Amino acid sequence: MAAVQETVDRVRQIDVDQYRYGFETLIESEKAPKGLSEDIVRFISAKKNEPDWMLQWRLEAYRRWLTMVEPTWARVDYPKIDFQDLYYYAAPKPKKTVGSLDEIDPEILKTYEKLGIPLREVAILEGVEPRPGEPDTPSRKIAVDAVFDSVSVATTFQAELKKAGVIFMPISEAIKHHPELVQKYLGSVVPTSDNFYATLNSAVFSDGSFVYVPPGVRCPMELSTYFRINERNTGQFERTLIIADKGSYVSYLEGCTAPQRDENQLHAAVVELVAMDDAEIKYSTVQNWYPGNSEGKGGIYNFVTKRGDCRGANSKISWTQVETGSAITWKYPSCILRGDNSRGEFYSIAISNGYQQVDSGTKMIHLGKNTSSRIISKGIAAGKSQNTYRGLVTAHRKATGARNFTACDSLLIGDQCGAHTVPYIEAKNASALFEHEATTSKISEDVLFYCIQRGLSQEEAVGLVVNGFVKDVLQQLPMEFAVEAQKLISISLEGSVG
Amino acid sequence: MAALLEVKDLQVSVADREILHGLTLTVNEGEVHAIMGPNGSGKSTLSHVIAGKPGYEVTGGQILFKGEDLLEMEPNERAAKGVFLAFQYPVEIPGVATMNFLRTALNAQRKARGEDELSTPDFLKRVREVSGSLGIPQEMLKRGVNVGFSGGEKKRNEVLQMALFQPSLCILDEMDSGLDIDALRIASEGVNALRAPNRSMVVITHYQRLLDYIVPDVVHVMSKGKVVRSGGKELALELEANGYAQYQEAAA
Amino acid sequence: MNIAVAKPDKPDTASDNFAAVSARVPGAGKVADTRRQALDTFQRIGLPHRRIEDWKYTDLRALMREVLPLAAAPEATALARAETAAKLHAIDGVRRLVLVDGVLAPDLSDLAGLEAGLSIRSLSEALQAGDDRVLSLDTADPMVALNTALMTDGVVIEVADGTTLARPLHILHITSGGAPAAMFTRSRIALGNAAVATVVESYVAGEGASAYQVHDSAVISVGDHARLDYVRIVEDAPEAFNITSAAVSVGAHAHFNAFGITTGGLVSRYQAVVTVAGSHSEVQTNGVNLLNGKQHADTTLVMNHDVPHCASREGFRAVVDDRGHSVFQGRINVRQPAQQTDAKMMTRALLLSDEAEVDNKPELEIFADDVTCGHGAAVGALDDSLLFYLRARGLPQKEAEAMLIQAFVGEAIEAIADDNLRELVTAAAVRWLEARQ
């Protein structure tokens, strides 16, 4: 009964308000004029003091973007976005040049405190302080890069990471300090021509995180980026690039929130991962952008391109996502399994409530020999939401010995929502072995009754069942995130029953 | 007595890892040999290589069967020559009725040996005789091969095939695994009924208890890919009392 | 008379065909209007290509390139050739309805002595009588539109309420031979309430027929408490095309049990939309594709559950050798009122060659919460451990493969209720396997 009690306690602790990150930080900010043009692209590049090659790269993307049309194949429905009615650059107005954390606007620091993100270099501990003089219980540290609207405001633990040889800094800094790495890898996984939103991002991205883990290094701590959209009418276009060189390992966490606003806001990020021989990247996301209110007003439009390239032999990329926020989610974290024996994983929990629309899934592209992939997707639809899993598994001619296992399960809560599964399974190699299974069901009345008879409320019982339903995926998350994610899941489903 | 099976200095690798490091073994006609050894000593590898399972690379040595080079033959040719492997884990083949499977296999073997196919009435008669003596209900033969069979039923189905095909060499790979004492007794009785002067058996097992039922003429101890000791049936009892530890050290 | 809108450098076969068909099958009123609109739809879209999502894996612009001219109505020599083919593909104990080059051939068909409650007419009769029930196919799809615009003939089968047909009906499509041409046919099979019937439909070629095009369609309705068993056998010539669309509507407490096997044709597609419109009904659709050479076969099924308490099962198996390409797209739509739906779909494919290709797209679209729905898909080669077991028991490689393949497709063939037809289909599978050895 311990697990049940734990869940009951957790449900009790949950705030009553559905979205507790909906506050706004009142600070002065500096914006580019509304709309998008070559001048705006130049403005952003100039603001960042970028070298000319970066500006040219952006301009090429912008020109290409002008020729592209928005994709319409996803099962999401929204009014046409006026791309000229957005701000493409907003930065907190600096009081002076930021040299240390103490010089960051205290309002921003407070914001991150409210969000529970430590920007001071304090160790996050699993429950208790380590006793002094006990080197065997190392404190768990998480290095954080905080992105506030368009710019990175702080990156912690830089010194310690530097000692290990790990580069973790805002991508705007990396462009200046490590141009050879950025030039080599930027756009090598998601080319500027990839898709409408990725191309837009390539033209106007303002900041994001850059990680390089040198050969043979196991990154000494979890790396994390926390994204916050604060400004009104502002698109956020961050760009993340992670390179794990031969034999290295890195675990990276990403969290996102935004204030509650009536109008929709656009978020179009690009994440590129590169894993060389024997390297491993674990990328976890808890996406909790503002989902809009109970009438479907407001919320973030989340059009994200995330792709990992298992470039080297025996490399591994694992995506774990907990998607609870955004009015619209359009995202397919994918793996290109290029290296022989490489492995891709996708673990996803996607919860939709209210009028949320989720169209998410993955692509596993098997190119190398003896590559394997695993997809575990759990979709939960409640309220009047639509929740779609869309996935591609493909084995090319030369991908001998390709293996995939896919399980996508959907749970429906209430009869006003929809759950959809759209898998594409393509085998061009006789030695490929693909297994796919999908189910859609509702929470069993018998199970609910059993729980209720044992004293749980209807909502608690649903929470219990849902936690069981998503357990396989939650287990993939680093500890701190798993607890956070579990809370979020409960909050997201509040008001969905009864 | 003539040698039926001669394994000479056999070296076998799986995925570039050598499992058998020069194994030598001779089984004469009519003899029952037991091969015992700890897990991972290469017992099952030996049985698979004799039967011709793909995935094993023979890097040295040879296997002669009735004086012929067994390694040159396809698995089905070996079966037709009289090599029978009773699998440790007999596979389930959904959609292939056991009866159909038995007839197809028997006739394929006969055809390979240049014999006439068995007529349907003759075939049915033989299956009925054999299954009757093993206590296998006809109902079981209508189902897919091993589909939904219990562990004991699967092993009995292996013995049924052994009785039907009349091979000259039976390799029993861990026949006792997953069987309770009653199932073990029934299967062993079936095997014992097949003991004959022109038929040899290689009984691979981890435990001595199977050898209470199928009493061997010779016992070999395998460790780390080699035969490290051979002796009479009393060797099995000694192993039961003292365990494999001494041999593992000796082989190392 | 067919100078019409032909563009100087690119002949417009669809328009030419339309003129030819209009001359042969006049039709009027709603029939004529629908056909004219359908022609417009087709001309607007043209042959479907991979950017049309439903045709993603079967790009007819690349595979078919063009629509051939309408086949001439069969003359005496064609009918004679067809008669030979009909004898070759005869099925015992059935009432045979033969279409030669897309036209009902009464002399080759058993139209005499119809049981009470059974009515059989030709499509052209129905069209000329303005029977708009043959029109109920959604022409949004370009190939349905093309077929609707150009359908020339076919059979209209009506089974009255409470009638049980003792003899199965066999609709036999024969392409007689001669210059490659296109046939546009449509059949309607309507079972009244509590009617019971078995229909087998097969597609064959007469001697010398090669790169012809079959453009067929079917409008099927199964009344309340009725049962229809439907078996479809595609044994077209190795160079032929067969694009068939079907719309099936199933009433309450009814059974619809369909099975399809494709071994023939170069490029084929069967696209069916099955709608369960009455409660407590059961639908089973199973199929087998056995492909080799450069064959391309696509089965696209949409299963609509509009009402509560219904069950559907889809089971589809493909065996692909050489450079064959098998496609399965299955979509289960469960609409909001369809509570207590039990819908399952399973697709499995065996790849026998490194150049073979299989694409599966099994979709679920669920809008009702109290449902049990699922799909599974598996793709792989023959199981090595099973092959080894069989070889260790004395079977040569090819025989062992054949045994496993036959078992693999046999599990789908099991679903055919009629013993005679089940054996017929099994024999077709065995023929394919034997040809492989």
Per-residue pLDDT of A223-242, as tens digits, reads: 888 776 666 667 788 899 99
Which residues from chain A sit within 8 angstroms of residue C365, using beta carbons? 418, 420
Which residues from chain C sit within 8 angstroms of residue A442, using beta carbons? 369-371
Residue at B172 is within a domain: yes
Say if residue A123 is exposed, middle or buried (CB neighbours under 10 Å; 0-12, 13-18, 19+).
middle
Mean pLDDT for C63-82 is 93
For A476-495, what is each residue's pLDDT tens digit? 887 767 777 777 777 777 66
How many residue pairs bridge chain B and chain C with CB atoms within 8 Å of each other?
78
Asked if A319 contacts A360 with a C-beta cutoff of 8 angstroms, the reply is: no
- Rank A136-140, B243-247, C231-235 by mean pLDDT and report only the highest: C231-235
Which residues from chain A sit within 8 angstroms of residue C362, using beta carbons? 421, 423, 425, 436, 438
Residue at B157 is within a domain: no
The pLDDT value given to residue A155: 67
Q: Which of C328, C217, C311 is nearest to C257 (CA)?
A: C311
Residue B97: pLDDT band (50, 70, 90) is confident
Residue at B151 is within a domain: no
Q: Is C360 on the interface with A (CB under 8 A)?
A: yes
Residue of C387, C391, C426 to mutate for B, most B C-beta atoms under 10 A? C391
**Cα separations in angstroms, C335 against C251, C283, C308:** 16, 16, 9
A401 to chain C, minimum CA–CA distance in Å? 10
Residue at B61 is within a domain: yes
- The residues that bridge with A433 in the sheet, in sequence order, are A403
Mean pLDDT score of chain A: 80
Mean pLDDT score of chain C: 92
* pLDDT at residue A5 greater than cutoff 60: no
Answer whether A433 sits within 8 Å of C336, measured CB to CB. no
Residue at B140 is within a domain: no
AA identity, residue B1: M
The pLDDT value given to residue A496: 65
Residue at B54 is within a domain: yes
> Which residue did the predictor score with more confidence, A459 or C177?
C177
Cα Rg for chain A, rounded, in angstroms? 22
Instruction: State the ipTM, two decimals.
Output: 0.84
> Which residue did the predictor score with more confidence, C185 or A291?
C185
The pLDDT value given to residue A142: 65
Residue at C411 is within a domain: no
Answer whether C394 sits within 8 Å of B165, measured CB to CB. yes
The pLDDT value given to residue B94: 80
Which residues from chain B sit within 8 angstroms of residue C430, using beta carbons? none
Residue at B154 is within a domain: no
The Cα–Cα gap between B146 and B159 comes to 13
Which residues from chain C sit within 8 angstroms of residue A438, using beta carbons? 362, 364, 374-376
The pLDDT value given to residue A125: 32
B146 to chain C, minimum CA–CA distance in Å? 11
AA identity, residue C284: Q
Answer whether C371 sits within 8 Å of A440, measured CB to CB. yes
Q: Is C8 on the interface with B (CB under 8 A)?
A: no
Find chains touching chain C: ≥3 CB pairs under 8 Å: A, B
CATH code for the domain in which residue B11 is found = 3.40.50.300
> Which residue did the predictor score with more confidence, A118 or B31?
B31
Answer whether C389 sits within 8 Å of B95, measured CB to CB. no
Q: Considering CB atoms only, which of B54, B80, B105 is closest to C388?
A: B54
The pLDDT value given to residue C28: 75
AA identity, residue A23: F
**Which chain C residue's Cα is nearest to A72?**
C53
Structural domains of chain B, count: 1
The pLDDT value given to residue C253: 97
The pLDDT value given to residue A6: 40
* pLDDT at residue A20 greater than cutoff 80: no
* pLDDT at residue B12 greater than cutoff 70: yes
The Cα–Cα gap between A293 and A303 comes to 19
Residue-number span of the structural domain to which B244 is assigned: 3-91+167-251
Residue at B185 is within a domain: yes
Q: Which of C287, C346, C344 is nearest to C318 (CA)?
A: C287
Cα-based angle B85, B87, B93 (whole degrees, multiple of 5): 110
Mean pLDDT for C56-75 is 93
* pLDDT at residue A98 greater than cutoff 60: no
Residue at C259 is within a domain: no
User: In this complex, does chain C touch chain A, defined as having at least 3 beta-carbon pairs under 8 Å apart?
Assistant: yes
Mean pLDDT for A247-251 is 95
The pLDDT value given to residue C314: 95
Q: Is A431 on the interface with C (CB under 8 A)?
A: yes
Residue-number span of the structural domain to which C189 is assigned: 1-210
Q: Considering CB atoms only, which of C383, C395, C404 is closest to B76?
A: C395
Q: Considering CB atoms only, which of B55, B95, B109 is closest to C394?
A: B109
Q: Is A73 on the interface with C (CB under 8 A)?
A: yes
Residue at C149 is within a domain: yes
The pLDDT value given to residue C255: 97
Which residues from chain B sit within 8 angstroms of residue C437, using beta carbons? none
Mean pLDDT for A412-428 is 90
Asked if A256 contacts A225 with a C-beta cutoff of 8 angstroms, the reply is: no
The pLDDT value given to residue C26: 66
For B43-85, what is each residue's pLDDT tens digit? 999 999 999 888 899 999 999 999 999 999 988 899 999 999 9
Residue at C415 is within a domain: no
Q: What are phi and psi of A201, to 5 degrees?
A: -60, -45
Q: Is C402 on the interface with B (CB under 8 A)?
A: no
* pLDDT at residue C4 greater than cutoff 70: no
Residue at C170 is within a domain: yes
Structural domains of chain C, count: 1
Residue at C202 is within a domain: yes
AA identity, residue B119: S
The pLDDT value given to residue C7: 41
Q: What are phi and psi of A211, to 5 degrees?
A: -130, 130
Residue at C161 is within a domain: yes
